[in-house]
Every structure is written in C-alpha cells, then in structure tokens.
Amino acid sequence: MSGEARKIRLIMDLRRSGITDTRVLSAVERVPREAFVSEPFLDQAYENTALPIGKGQTISQPLVVALMSQALEVGERMKVLEIGTGSGYQAAVLAKLCRRVYTIERHKSLLVEAERRFRALHVHNITAVAGDGTRGWPEQAPFDRILVTAAAGEIPKSLLDQLADGGAMVLPVGSPGGDQEVLRIRKKDGKPSVERLFPVRFVPLVAGGVE
Ligand code: SAH
C-alpha cells in the first residue's frame, strides 16, 4: 500500500473513531507523520499506534493526538501551550489550528530533533524550549489553550494559573503506567470546572530539570 493510501485509511479510521472536527482531520492530513518517526518505524508512520522516539518516550497514537486536539477546541487566533514536545508531531498538528504554539520539552536531544523537523517542514509558528513544563511559561502567559502530553499525578497549579480566563486545558491525569484519564478544564471567571473525557496511557510528566 502506498503512503498516500495508508494516510487515507488512517483519516477514515479517525472519522470512524469519533473525530468529527474537519479542521482537526485536515490538520492530521496535512502534517506528514513520517517526518516525525525514526527510520526503523517509517513503514508504520500511518498506522494508528504510538511509536518509540528515543529516551524511553513515544510519539502518541494518531487517534489520541486527534482526540486531544479536538477536545481542545482550538481557534485560529489562539495562543497554545503544549507540554511535552517529544517528536514535535502534536505541536505541528496544533500549529495548523492556531496562531502560535509554545512547546516545552525536558529532553534536550528530543527538542533539538523536533526543532530540526519544524524547520525542514517550514513550520514557523512554533516556539520550542527545553525546560520543566510543570512550571509552564510565565513570560508568555496567559494561554488560550494548554495541552499536556504526559500524565501528571494531579493538575499542575502553575499551568492553571497561566490559563487565560475563558480558556481550556486538556491533560491526562493518573498514576504512571496505570489508569489515566484525559480531563478538560475550563476556566471561567477565575474558577476551573473539570470534565472527564476518555481513558489513555501516557508516559509520566516528570518535574525537575532538563536532561
Ligand atoms: N507530544 C509528543 C508526545 C510526547 S511523549 C509527540 O507528539 O511526539 C511525552 C513527552 O513529555 C516526552 O518527550 C517527555 O520527555 C516529555 N516530558 C515529561 N515531563 C516533562 C516536563 N516536566 N516538561 C517538559 N516535557 C516533559
């Protein structure tokens, strides 16, 4: 099967699995996932599975990227913060949906690779930095949307503080390697309200320094 045929099959799979937002479907269609996976996994780039990206981390399953992007309800003028750049794939999808993406990764080597991919693909509306994402990015706050792509034990308070009023944050919460679920938190008049969305399995959000 050709790369293009595999991609069409993946998009159909996403639609069947509940991705109805046409902006999200079109963003997934326009971002070449093969540019974000390493050589040994190239033939699996359009399979609906997570794949290793080094440093014990993974590029998320396309369905999870699409579900989280859809849940985030991103508008084209928005400023979005992502925690856990990893391969850079989710950031590249978000970059198609909003004005600017700020993304933080604690593994310097993964960040360097992701930035190289953004340049090669001429994606210019992503600002990436190595750091501890649990602290957010105070200099750039507030953010209209925040997406966390690693699982926290609880909702990081500094991220909630950096969320704009009327904003929303989507993040997996739960124990490492155990039960986790994606939450959506909306902030209205300074008060957060929490919705539980769907179960997932993410690598843990690790507080502390850069590696
Ligand atoms: N969004 C990524 C998938 C990320 S996997 C993609 O599309 O490929 C989760 C990533 O979060 C890993 O790369 C991990 O190193 C990173 N991470 C974990 N804790 C972090 C923290 N406190 N700050 C920033 N990044 C973190």
Structure confidence by residue, pLDDT tens digits, 170-189: 999 999 878 999 999 999 99
pLDDT average, residue stretch 35-48: 95
The reply to whether the predicted model has a pTM over 0.75 is: yes
**Best residue for ligand 1 mutational test, from 69, 82, 85, 89 (most atoms within 8 Å of Cβ):** 85
pLDDT at position 65: 98
Mean pLDDT of the chain: 96
* Domain around 196: 3-200
Query: Would you say residue 80 lies in a domain?
Result: yes
pLDDT band at 167 (very low <50, low <70, confident <90, very high): very high
- What is the arithmetic mean of pLDDT over 182-210? 95
Read off the pLDDT of each residue in 93-106 and give the average, rounded to a whole number. Answer: 98
pLDDT of residue 2: 83
**Whether the predicted pLDDT of 140 surpasses 90:** yes
Q: Is residue 205 part of a domain?
A: no
Residue 78 CB less than 6 A away from ligand 1: no
Average pLDDT (52-69) is 96
Assess whether the C-beta atom of 130 lies below 6 angstroms from ligand 1: no
pLDDT bin (cut points 50, 70, 90) of residue 4 is confident
Looking at the 3D structure of the chain, how many domains does it have? 1
Q: What's the CATH code of the domain at 126? A: 3.40.50.150
Residue 206 domain-assigned? no
Residue 209 lies in a domain: no
For residue 89 and ligand 1, the question of a CB distance below 6 A is answered with yes
pLDDT classification of 209: cutoffs 50, 70, 90: confident
Residues 186-207 have a mean pLDDT of: 96
> In whole angstroms, what is the distance from residue 158 CA to residue 137 CA?
9
Predicted pLDDT at 41: 96
93 pLDDT higher than 90: yes
The 10s digit of each residue's pLDDT in 5-37 is 999 999 999 999 999 999 999 999 999 999 999
* 185 in a structural domain: yes
Q: Which residue from 49, 55, 107, 112 has its CB within 8 A of the most atoms of ligand 1, so it is best to mutate?
A: 107
Q: Which protein residue's CA is at the shortest distance from atom 13 of ligand 1?
A: 86
38 is catalytic: no
Q: Is residue 120 part of a domain?
A: yes
**Confidence at 87, pLDDT banded by 50, 70, 90:** very high
Whether 207 maps to a domain, the answer reads no
Distance between Cα 104 and ligand 1 center (Å): 8
Domain membership of residue 211 (yes or no) is no
Residue 124, pLDDT > 90, answer yes
